A = this chain, B = another copy of it.
Amino acid sequence: MAKPESTHQVSTSPDVSLDELQLAVRNHSLPLEALRYPITPIGMHYLLIHFDIPRVDPSQWRLVVGGHVRAPLTLTLDDVKRRPAVTLAVTLECAGNGRANLSPRPVSQPWLFEAVGTAEWTGTPLRPLLEAVGALDGAAHVVFTGLDRGVQGGIEQHYERSLTMAEATREEVFLAYAINGQPLPPQHGFPLRLVVPGWYGMTHVKWLRSITVVTRPFRGYQQEPAYHVTSTWDELGEPVTRMLPRSLMVPPGIPEFLPRTRQLALGRCILEGQAWSGWGRIVRVEVSTDGGNAWADAELGGDGGEFAWQSWRHVWDADQAGQFELCCRATDSAGNVQPLSAPWNAHGVCNNQVQRIKVVVAHELPPAQAPADGLAN
């Protein structure tokens, strides 16, 4: 099929253009030290927003559930909240996480390693709602349409994505109106968003306005050509679905403002972080302090639940001064292992290569600023 023109730009420079910077200052990733929180506080969870954040008047808002169904429904926000409620901790990661580490670099949101977060979402399960409207014979897919609107690939569109009926009716799929016990803030999809535990972030359509049952595969822009793994520009490739395993580490020591190199004094250091996969539980996290040559098993926390990241920790005896490159890698119960280097693809998606953190271990930290005692200067 013909690709819209803007789908496949790449840059051979590691430096990021002004256009990409415009995205980078709007969207944001998880500050890595926020991996210390099992549930990410609001404002530290990653955000990727294709167009503008809609400002929705909840009294005017309606959700239309229809299409190839027996009894279409139009629901107010109160109607949605009166339905059975579930609360679930879910880790969400952007499919483009890691993109800016690629060479050549697909031109889009320039994520490094940290486009992730774990929130406690509250909402109502989707399956009973689909049962209530009653899919007719031949119903095969469900399209989720957001209120957010813009132009991508030369096409004017609302953001929309679909799931097969089998995926949409899985027990864990729900429509969320709260995060961490609070109404969704605008940037997380107020008043209602889709949550599909285990899947990359593009699936969790925000600012829902309609859910439409259809008979044929949906081929809107965000479904295809976007969010596919393809190494050649002539092929559509494979659709992005569930999150590959990934582990991230809280950078130890203290940072330099710029660059973000870490400084650490000699001694015992606790390395800690989180790991997750959309394909199964994390069964192993390994840590390397020499850039990925030698690996040691980290201790798994056993926390996190079925769809949330699991904590890990490892004691590192940093008893030698010098420069170190710390890495961690996760293995899930399906046997997927994080690669040291992931195969390149044109959209820069599903890249779960291991994080690398440069640390300088020294006998002492750099010269300290004199304390503010009134005599110091």
Contact = CB atoms under 8 A, between A and B. Distances in A.
B150 A374 contact: no
Contact of A255 (B51, B186, B214, B370): B51
Interface in A141-171: 141, 143, 145, 149-152, 154-158, 160, 162
B44 A254 contact: no
A143 B372 contact: yes
Interface string A362-374: 0001111110111
B258 A108 contact: yes
Contacts of A6: 257-258
Contact of A218 (B33, B212, B372): B372
Contacts of A337: none
B33 A29 contact: no
A367 B141 CA distance: 24
A289 to B, nearest CB: 20
A239 interface: no
Please indicate which of the listed interface residues A13, A51, A145, A150 has the most CB atoms of chain B within 10 Å of its own CB: A150
Interface in A67-81: 67-68
A372 B110 contact: no
A83 interface: no
A204 interface: no
A292 to B, nearest CB: 19
Nearest to A23: B258
A290 interface: no
B372 A19 contact: no
Given A25-B110, A25-B112, A31-B49, A257 B373 contact: no
Contacts of A213: 374
Interface of A: 6, 13-29, 31, 33-34, 36-37, 41-45, 47, 49-53, 55, 67-68, 100, 107-108, 110-112, 114, 141, 143, 145, 149-152, 154-158, 160, 162, 185-188, 210, 212-221, 251, 254-260, 263, 365-370, 372-375, 377
Given A43-B188, A213-B374, A221-B369, 8 more contacts: A16-B17, A16-B20, A21-B112, A23-B258, A31-B49, A155-B366, A218-B377, A219-B377
